[in-house]
Amino acid sequence: MREAFFLALALATGGAGAGWAETAVSAIGDAERGADIWIFCSGCHQIGPDAEIGIGPPLTGIFGRRAASVDGFPYSRSMTRAGRDGLTWTLETLDAYIENPRVLVSGTRMSFDGLEDAGERADLLAFLRVYSDKPSNIPEAAPTARADVPTLPPETLAIVGDRAYGEYLSSECTTCHQRDGSDKGIPSIVLWPEENFVLAMHAYRQKLRPHPVMQMMAGRLTDEEIAALAAYFGSLTP
């Protein structure tokens, strides 16, 4: 069964990836199980040599591709900004996006909330890799370096932010972001769920989100300060 599956994939892709599919994919997951998970993605995305733009962009050749780079697809402003900032789809960034799309790209139009199960994400990534001709970020030797990202201990997520302290800290944020929630070329951060705000800031810290200024800003903040900012901006009324 498995041999037939990979043979079919190799034929469907014109042989692309056939030399490494069965040996290397196992380092990140099971592509055959990933094909079952792909069914839930296929309502919006197509994959394979004849894939076309649908509700979502085609995902053929996703590894190594810059975000928002499929010609003719109407990406959200947030995804376009992320691509302009340098977001590239790798094993690590795809894993983060599939786990929680809005942690990596706040204003994405992706219509699902994320896939929490790390094993299922690994299987889906293995399936996507079969259709990618640029898997260089995935070493052939196991184990492949990957993490469920951003990785935060429960106690970090449990910090209750001090809203007043967040307001005090917010002046540096509002030199770019608008307190009234308007989006003038800079994404709004007003009324974000606090956990999403915290996860997004830690994604900058871990350099998953590519904006260098935000990486620097997040790197200077303590866990308590991030929680305080989350509490403040989450409480504002636009």
- pLDDT tens digits for range 197-227: 998 899 888 888 888 788 899 999 999 999 9
Mean pLDDT across the stretch 81-96?
92
Q: Give the predicted TM-score (pTM) of the model.
A: 0.59
Q: Check for a shared fold between 2-130 and 154-235.
A: yes
Q: Domain segments of the chain: what residues?
A: 2-130, 154-235
Structure tokens at 141: 């030797």
The dotted CATH code for 2-130 is 1.10.760.10
- pLDDT tens digits for range 6-25: 333 433 333 333 333 333 33
- Looking at domain 154-235, its CATH architecture is Orthogonal Bundle (1.10)
For residue 205, give every residue at least 6 positions away whose Cβ sits within 8 Å of its Cβ, in sequence order, or none. Answer: 150, 215, 218, 219
Whole-angstrom distance, CA of residue 176 vs CA of residue 228: 18
First to last CA, the chain: 55
